[in-house]
Structure 1
Amino acid sequence: MAEFPTGEAVALELSIARIPTRAAAFLIDVVMQCMLGAALLSGIVTVLSAVTADTAWLEAAVLFAMVTVLVGYPVCCETVWRGRTLGKLILGLCVVRQDGGPINFQHALTRGLAGAIVDFWMLGGFGAIAVLTSMCSPNARRVGDVLAGTVVVHAQRPLPRPALAIAPPWLTDWSARLDLSALPEDLALAVRRYLTRFSTLTPAAQHHIGAVLVAEVCGRLRVAPPTDYPPLQILGAVIAERQRRVLPPPLFPVFPPQISLNTVPPLAMT
């Protein structure tokens, strides 16, 4: 078991998928890739033969089929099935981010390209590099996992849904206009940990750490921080808006324990 600090600073204990299970899932995926590749190549060759294409077209068709199968299959499956290919689905495995959250297309694409080029095929010695790097990693991560910031875990049941932050109503209009694509995961995680630990900090630490995080967050987002509002509310509004865009709305949204942004009025009102 390994502990994953989630984006809401909640520790999840998940079982790391080791080499034997991952190898079995990989073999299932290889069989599927071979079947898809054969069907795709057969269809392309049939079409090209009907139009009497030369050998250059046939070579291009073979290259297209290889790239589609080796990269397209894992990327599409892991994007659509939230971290699972057919092999992982059968064996109850799932690819998650380092904070335990679901992956997106960018993570899947990085893993797929690294798998095709480094871990398994072109430079990977038919999986030798993936096996060696997994054996040397405490969380059994191959090169693609390291580059994408992901881990493969046993996840028979859906991963627990993180608690959602609720933004102060007087900052929702401001946060809704932000371009949050420039906010990196590590900085967002630091902000959420600050929000969760806020009540345990001294007043001086609350102000100092909050001010530093507000400056860094607004600097990344290239916006000026709202004046006359405490860091707690500004950071809470950013995280709440970020969660609203990424996660589907829950039936009963709650903020992490011991934090209530709305109980701290804006400084202009005091």
Structure 2
Amino acid sequence: MSALVTGDAVVLGLQPARLPSRALALVIDLAVVWAAYILVSLVMLFATASLDGAAQAAIGVALFVLVLVGGPIAVETLSHGRSLGKLACGLRVVRDDGGPIRFRHALVRGAMGVVEILVTFGVVACFASLVSERGRRIGDVFAGTLVVRERVSPGWAAPVPPPPPWLVGRFAGLDLSRVPDGLWLAVRQYLTRMRQLDPQVSWTMSVRLAEDMVACTGAPLPEGVPPAAYLAGVVSERQARDARRAFGQVHAVPGMAGVPAGGFGQGQGTAPWAAGPQVHGAVPGPGRSPVQGAAQSSVHGAAHTPVRGSVEVLPAEAPAPGPVRSTGFAPPA
């Protein structure tokens, strides 16, 4: 992905958990895990009393690995980053781009946790969390994860604006497997802060991000779609896939995270997709990429959505919005 340099201080829309809350969650998790380990060990001790010493030692090692190491990995994988301690403290483990973790993330965190937490009694984990800007331990760095706070004030979060209704579900067949996490993070940062950027800077960044996304997906930018709307549609499709993978099929309900209470197409002021320099000409010229040509033509194209007051009016040729699919999962604030 090409470097994006702007004078605006763009930050990740997640609030990292700090050491005190993480330490409290860890104490709760360790208490539960050790209680389970001792209980299972006592049961196995009576069950294997007739075996020799070598067999009992092998069973003890197996119990240590399965309960103290495999247990937390299984819990984080099945709960998508929320163990009992994190649930009690309002914390959650997410990817660097805000998405839900998978087995490989939990496996790396659990494997590193043996050294950071069990062997060194948490000293290495505490030191790493203190020196890290976002409170990450070594396992988080290697796994590409972040522990964030889920219970925050409603005014703090910066939700990603939903795409226009005529783009919902349009990118269902798009291949998103080659899009790196860094690009997802950059797109999310841009969408949450594009109203605060200078219009020319916002337009330039949207074109460059759309070019990077097109290069990763291998599919051209749809004709007549503004680059910011295209990015929002792709992010919405990615969140919908994560939601289906994590929670199954979920239908949209107004007022859910990422969906305004008044439904799609309503926002504050003008539609964010209408922002951008007024550029005429639909044919890319020399030195202009196809994405730039399509993006510039969309400013006055048929797919551009006019705004009356605060309600977005659909163009005549745009498909009528049917049942809106929910993302089901929004990156924790």
Q: Report the TM-score when normalising by structure 2.
A: 0.59
- 2:169 aligned counterpart, secondary structure: helix
**1:193 aligned to 2:189?**
yes
Displacement, 1:238? 0.8
Further displaced range: 128-137 or 260-269 = 260-269
Provide the C-alpha distance between the structure 2 equivalents of 1:164 and 1:83, rounded to a whole number of angstroms: 25
Displacement, 1:144? 1.6
Question: What is the aligned counterpart of 1:67 among 65, 68, 75?
Answer: 65
Aligned partner letter, 2:234: V
Does the Cα contact within 8 Å between 2:175 and 2:217 map onto a contact in 1? yes
Aligned partner letter, 1:141: R
CA distance 1:72–1:224, shift in 2 (3 Å): same
Matches within 5 A, 1:47-62: 58-62=56-60
- 1:182 aligned counterpart, secondary structure: coil
CA distance 1:158–1:268, shift in 2 (3 Å): closer
Provide the C-alpha distance between the structure 2 equivalents of 1:241 and 1:121, rounded to a whole number of angstroms: 40
Matches within 5 A, 1:34-53: 34-44=34-44
Provide the C-alpha distance between the structure 1 equivalents of 2:167 and 2:124, rounded to a whole number of angstroms: 53
The number of equivalent residue pairs is 253
Does the Cα contact within 8 Å between 2:136 and 2:146 map onto a contact in 1? yes
- 1:33 corresponds to: 33
- 1:110 corresponds to: 108
Does the Cα contact within 8 Å between 2:33 and 2:71 map onto a contact in 1? yes
Provide the C-alpha distance between the structure 2 equivalents of 1:81 and 1:217, rounded to a whole number of angstroms: 30
Matches within 5 A, 1:1-270: 5-6=12-13, 14=15, 16-19=17-20, 21-44=21-44, 58-90=56-88, 92-97=89-94, 101=98, 103-105=100-102, 106-116=104-114, 118-122=115-119, 125-152=120-147, 162-167=159-164, 169=166, 172-173=169-170, 175-198=171-194, 200-203=197-200, 205=201, 208-247=204-243, 248=250, 249-252=252-255, 253-254=259-260, 259-261=271-273, 267=301
CA distance 1:28–1:177, shift in 2 (3 Å): same
Does the Cα contact within 8 Å between 1:17 and 1:93 map onto a contact in 2? no
Provide the C-alpha distance between the structure 2 equivalents of 1:24 and 1:131, rounded to a whole number of angstroms: 12
- 2:39 aligned counterpart, secondary structure: helix
CA distance 1:67–1:259, shift in 2 (3 Å): farther
**More helix per residue: 1 or 2?**
1
Displacement, 1:158? 9.0
Deviations 1:125-170 (A, max 9, x none): 2222112212322443221232334444565569869455124525
Extract unaligned runs of 5+ from structure 2.
Answer: 1-9, 244-249, 276-297, 305-333
Deviations 1:155-200 (A, max 9, x none): 5569869455124525733x10023243333312322333445554
Provide the C-alpha distance between the structure 2 equivalents of 1:236 and 1:212, rounded to a whole number of angstroms: 14
CA distance 1:96–1:35, shift in 2 (3 Å): closer
Aligned partner letter, 1:179: D
Aligned partner letter, 1:75: I
Q: CA RMSD in A?
A: 4.0
- 1:9 corresponds to: none
CA distance 1:190–1:153, shift in 2 (3 Å): closer
- 2:75 aligned counterpart, secondary structure: helix
CA distance 1:238–1:139, shift in 2 (3 Å): closer
Does the Cα contact within 8 Å between 2:19 and 2:126 map onto a contact in 1? no
Displacement, 1:115? 0.6
Does the Cα contact within 8 Å between 1:88 and 1:94 map onto a contact in 2? yes
Extract unaligned runs of 5+ from structure 1.
Answer: 7-11
Displacement, 1:33? 1.6
Displacement, 1:111? 2.0
Displacement, 1:119? 0.9
Percent of aligned positions with the same letter in both sequences? 30
CA distance 1:47–1:63, shift in 2 (3 Å): same
CA distance 1:86–1:194, shift in 2 (3 Å): closer
Deviations 1:176-231 (A, max 9, x none): 0023243333312322333445554445x455433322221122223343345432
Does the Cα contact within 8 Å between 1:82 and 1:102 map onto a contact in 2? no
- 2:206 aligned counterpart, secondary structure: helix
